């Protein structure tokens, strides 16, 4: 097996970790393949019908450096490879299910005991002591763990044959338990709906292996549900009926007419809901419709509650707090503060420098002076910490406020056990998705008021819904929008440029050689721009401003793909900032990482940043938020390199310095909310690097994010 440099022929083998594009008509596919010995996934393109995520493939072709998408292989030959039995055993042992065994020890066990390692462990466990580091006690623990999960071994073997990674196989097992094989062999399409990491393609492959026809009712139903689930991943709460049917027909590659009976069955079983009285005929997954309905009811109830003070007392409170805090409120600030003190449901919004922080502090001070109980919270730990610093009071994540129980997978706070505070104040409310907002609203006591604080011009929540914006538009809330800039450093451009972007105006740039807090470095060539980003982070900015390149500088990009995408930038920055990681396929000590899914057991949340402190057989240790967390191998799947992260993943965070990569390859993603969100993440300095046309496109494109969500409509309908 050989590997040559750019523009040469290569013959490689690896595992497909992601399908980024597939044309079912001609088989043209773009896949990300993890090749052993490479730091990151390799893009492979060409006619590759039938390949899917998790599959082992051997491929040969021409390695090129694409001007837009970076390094890739144009595949001329491709062949699916069955995973070796030894590899299957190794993956099973390292999956996290066998206590005390991680990747290194799993490798050593297979090396010592061979392909029959599991049988050896079951029938002659003392042979484990041949493996360095395993004594009598540990051998007994490992043997017991393997013996306890006999059916799981069968599941692993079955799924390995279908290209399903061990970590995903483990999630399938945890979902169905002892009934896993039954589901796999009779209802495989359930996996696409029930198990994270299993797409319809994988479920299809399993279904085909057991002889399930393409027009089988369970497959058609699964396609409809999967299309709705995929829409929710993109932020939608529902899909219009026509769009859903078209999307499912494309996904399943069947005639649309076949889907009618499948839709009717799902509707009759209440697995989805059609609201035929609305013009676009929205179709909801039942859970989302229930959440939206409950959230709307709670908002209507809140809107009818009296505020903390009647108007005349609110005016007096304003005079007192202005004197106590030593600030002279502008007319808009006066109106905002009085309005929010007199409302049962309030919204405070505004961009950087408009005085949101000052008003929050004033409100909290008034509430305390009145002897009332206020609870402060935010969607993320980082935002909660900032709120605590601003207010001088304890602030917590919403999950902690609502007392989420990982074991029971539910919140302890709710209608039966409500929050008894006089006021609940939530910062960074633009990050609220429908699920979290609905649970918060239902947990408010009958006398509790709610104040949502945030920046309505930022990108919406990662999860489904447009909660913050739709609460503002619903008519149920007292909305205070601050627009006047009160805070701006002498000669500073950062705050001014954030507001210019909102107005559709190009950012102001400093004269050459002048110190400033906002720069644009023009470099149209994406490969050179990527090198410039690396030089800025590694050398130039740390030297100029005495910065820690890992802890104080964050690189942002609109998307993962391309020369200026997060994947490529992470490779460049990792090689420079953590050279001891070498070409390691997995995480290495010293790596900057981000949690990409909530882990309630570890109290680690989507978007949290950390540093890998060490690797153990049991997983890895990560320094995160002042704590050292130990991740199992399965949990570590939710960590990704974070030298560069997407703008979407940066929501709710602030960094001392932001370096933003903008290229024409990001064209489809470039819009005003994205640019505004990126620029407002920087506290001291923002440096934009890339193509001037990309910057102009982002400023020019004011089109708001389109999401199908009906919270505002429901509230208005209930209001009458």
pLDDT (tens digit per residue) in 675-685: 999 999 999 99
Helix or strand holding residue 387 (H, E): helix 381-391
Q: Taking a C-beta distance cutoff of 8 angstroms, is the pair 598, 404 a contact? A: no
Lowest mean pLDDT among 118-122, 244-248, 432-436, 521-525: 118-122
Going by C-alpha positions, the residue among 562, 533, 560, 536 that lies closest to residue 663 is 562
Q: Which residues of 245-254 are buried (b: 16+ CB within 10 A; e: fewer)?
A: bebbbebbeb
Where helices occur in 34-165 by DSSP H, the ranges are 85-93, 103-113, 117-123, 136-148, 150-160
Q: What is the pLDDT of residue 95?
A: 67
Prediction pTM value: 0.78
Instruction: Report, in this order, helix, strand and coil percent for the chain, each rounded to 5.
Output: 45, 20, 35
Residue 591 has pLDDT above 60, yes or no: yes
Rounded to 5 degrees, φ, ψ at 173 are -60, -45
Select the more confidently predicted residue: 146 or 643: 643
For residue 705, what are the CA distances in angstroms to 251, 465, 670, 708? 24, 11, 11, 10
Q: What angle do CA 559, 563, 569 make, to 5 degrees?
A: 75
7 has a pLDDT exceeding 80? no
Task: Please state, in angstroms and rounded to a whole number, the distance separating the CA atoms of residues 252 and 255.
Answer: 9
Q: Over 90: is that where the pLDDT of 157 sits?
A: no
Radius of gyration of the chain (CA): 27
d(CA 475, CA 307): 16
| 75-89, 274-288, 565-579, 587-601: segment of lowest average pLDDT | 75-89
Residue 475 near residue 445, CB atoms below 8 Å: no
H helix intervals, 190-285: 190-194, 200-209, 217-233, 241-252, 259-268
Judge whether residue 356 has pLDDT over 50.
Answer: yes
| Least confident span in 122-136, 158-172, 249-263 | 158-172
Sign, CA torsion 560/564/570/572: positive
Look at residue 5 and tell me whether its pLDDT is greater than 50. no
| DSSP H or E run through 397 | strand 395-397
Produce one character per residue of 530-548: b if its CB has 16 or more CB atoms within 10 Å, e if not. bebbbebbbeebbeeeebe
Q: Which residues pair with 661 in a beta bridge?
A: 689
Alpha-carbon torsion (537, 543, 545, 547), positive or negative: positive
Q: H-helix or E-strand containing 183? A: helix 180-186
Question: d(Cα 301, Cα 322) in Å, to the nearest integer?
Answer: 32
Residue with tokens 């750019």: 6
CB atoms within 10 A of CB 58: 14
**CA separation (Å) from 420 to 126, 304, 443, 446?**
58, 18, 9, 8
Predicted confidence (pLDDT) at residue 170 exceeds the cutoff of 80 = no
Q: Which residues contact 316 (CB under 8 A, 6 or more apart)?
A: none
pLDDT of residue 67: 73
> What's the pLDDT at 295?
98
In 282-351, where does DSSP find H-type helix?
Answer: 286-303, 311-325, 331-341
- Classify residue 646 as left (phi > 0), alpha (psi -120 to 50) or beta: beta
């Amino acid at each position: 097996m050989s590997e040559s440099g750019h523009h040469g022929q290569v013959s490689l083998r690896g595992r497909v970790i992601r399908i980024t594009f597939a044309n079912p008509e001609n088989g043209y596919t773009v896949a990300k393949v993890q090749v052993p010995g490479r730091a990151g996934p390799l893009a492979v393109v060409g006619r590759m019908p039938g390949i899917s995520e998790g599959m082992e493939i051997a491929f040969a072709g021409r390695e090129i450096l694409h001007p837009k998408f970076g390094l890739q292989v144009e595949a001329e030959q491709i062949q699916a490879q069955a995973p070796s039995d030894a590899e299957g055993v190794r993956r099973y042992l390292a999956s996290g299910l066998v206590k005390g065994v991680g990747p290194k020890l799993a490798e050593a066990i297979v090396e010592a005991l061979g392909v029959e390692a599991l049988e050896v462990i079951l029938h002659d466990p003392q042979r484990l002591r041949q493996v360095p580091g395993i004594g009598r006690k540990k051998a007994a623990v490992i043997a017991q763990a393997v013996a306890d999960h006999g059916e799981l071994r069968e599941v692993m073997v079955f799924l390995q044959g279908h290209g399903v990674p061990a970590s995903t196989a483990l999630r399938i097992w945890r979902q169905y338990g002892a009934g896993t094989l039954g589901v796999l062999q009779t209802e495989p399409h359930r996996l696409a709906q029930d198990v994270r990491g299993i797409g319809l393609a994988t479920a299809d492959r399993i279904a085909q292996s057991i002889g399930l026809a393409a027009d089988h009712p369970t497959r058609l139903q699964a396609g409809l549900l999967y299309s709705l689930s995929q829409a929710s991943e993109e932020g939608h709460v529902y899909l219009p009926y026509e769009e859903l049917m078209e999307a499912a027909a494309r996904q399943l590659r069947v005639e649309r007419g076949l889907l009618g009976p499948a839709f009717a069955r799902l509707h009759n079983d209440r697995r989805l809901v059609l609201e035929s009285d609305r013009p676009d005929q929205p179709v909801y997954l039942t859970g989302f419709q229930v959440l939206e309905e409950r959230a709307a009811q709670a908002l209507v109830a809140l809107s009818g509650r009296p505020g903390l003070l009647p108007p005349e007392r609110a005016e007096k409170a304003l005079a007192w707090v202005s004197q106590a805090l030593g600030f002279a409120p502008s007319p808009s600030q006066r109106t905002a503060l009085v309005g929010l003190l007199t409302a049962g449901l309030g919204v405070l919004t505004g961009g950087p420098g408009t005085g949101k922080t000052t008003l929050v502090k004033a409100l909290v001070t008034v509430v305390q002076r009145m002897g009332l109980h206020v609870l402060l919270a935010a969607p993320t730990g980082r935002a909660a910490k900032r709120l605590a610093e601003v207010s001088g009071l304890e602030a917590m994540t919403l999950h902690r406020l609502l007392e989420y129980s990982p074991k029971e997978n539910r919140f302890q706070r709710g209608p039966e056990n409500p929050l008894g505070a006089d006021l609940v104040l939530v910062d960074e409310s633009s990050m609220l998705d429908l699920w979290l907002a609905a649970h918060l609203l239902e947990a408010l006591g009958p006398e509790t008021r709610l104040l949502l604080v945030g920046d309505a011009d930022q990108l919406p929540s990662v999860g489904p819904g447009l909660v913050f914006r739709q609460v503002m538009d619903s008519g149920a809330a007292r909305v205070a929008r601050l627009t006047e800039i009160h805070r701006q450093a002498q000669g500073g451009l950062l705050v001014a440029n954030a507001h210019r972007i909102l107005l559709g105006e190009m950012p102001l740039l400093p004269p050459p050689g002048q110190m400033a807090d906002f720069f644009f470095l023009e470099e149209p060539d994406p490969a050179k721009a990527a090198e410039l980003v690396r030089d800025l982070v590694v050398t130039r900015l740390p030297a100029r401003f005495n910065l820690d390149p890992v802890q104080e500088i964050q690189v942002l990009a609109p998307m993962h793909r391309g020369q200026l995408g997060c994947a490529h930038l992470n490779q460049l920055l990792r090689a420079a900032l953590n050279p001891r990681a070498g070409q390691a396929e997995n995480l290495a000590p010293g790596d900057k990482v981000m949690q990409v899914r909530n882990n309630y057991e570890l109290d680690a949340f989507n978007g949290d940043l950390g540093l890998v402190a060490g690797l153990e057989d049991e997983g890895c240790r990560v320094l995160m938020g002042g704590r050292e967390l130990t991740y199992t191998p399965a949990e570590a799947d939710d960590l990704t390199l974070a030298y560069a992260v997407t703008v979407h993943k940066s929501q709710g965070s602030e960094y001392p310095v932001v370096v933003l990569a903008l290229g024409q390859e990001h064209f489809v993603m470039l819009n005003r909310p994205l640019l505004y969100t990126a620029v407002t993440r920087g506290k001291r300095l923002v440096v934009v690097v890339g193509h001037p046309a990309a910057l102009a496109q982002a400023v020019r494109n004011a089109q708001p994010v389109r999401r199908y969500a009906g919270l505002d409509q429901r509230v208005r309908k209930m209001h009458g």
